[in-house]
Amino acid sequence: MLLHIGLDSWIIQDGNYGDFEIGKEYRFALEFYARELAEASRGPRQPSLQHRGRDLYYACGQIVFRSDSVWAVDFGVPAFQEQAPPDWAEVGTFATGEISVGVDPFFYFESLKNLRGMPDLFRHWHIRAIQLETTPWIETTRAGGGVNLHRDHTRESFRKISRTDAWNDDNGHASYLFECELRQPAA
């Protein structure tokens, strides 16, 4: 299985991981961000991830864990979201829709893995490629003062790199896109 997985530099800067390098293997869990996820009411119900670009996927998965504040879904590879699940989300139910996939910032490896009933989400990943986002930043002024920075997605761009440098890439504000190959479930 080959996945495109997002990572922001703050996750490395917080000391949760060291810098990543192509050609090496790493162990981490996946976090998903639901853009549009609904109960799968018709059609085939089989875990799948169809790449849509960047770290975006059209996904179908079976809910394998649910609590009031976190849920995990098996999309062919398991991932979690630390957010209250929708009312319809019960263990065994299938969910479908658009998600993005990222490296677990620390929520899973630090505490969620210890929740009663939470499945093992750790997997071994071989990093085949790393892209640094070079999309230009735009500054906007907030109504109450201050400045917000966001990317100009009309000018989206990336540059291939051989390793991350979270403290220096994009002046410490880097976003990365990893091309990862699933090696095996963690032991």
Whether 61 has a pLDDT exceeding 80, the answer reads yes
Q: Indicate whether 112 pLDDT > 90.
A: no
In sequence order, which residues have a C-beta less than 8 Å from that of residue 101 and are 6 or more positions away? 3, 4, 5, 6, 30, 31, 32, 33, 49, 55, 57, 79
Which residue range is the domain that position 111 belongs to?
Answer: 2-185
Q: Locate 136 and state its tokens.
A: 């230009």
DSSP string, 64-79: EEE-SS-EEEESSSEE
pLDDT at 44: 64
Find the mean pLDDT for residues 90-100.
Answer: 93
Split at pLDDT 50, 70, 90, the class of 143 is confident
- Number of domains composing the chain: 1
pTM of the model: 0.89
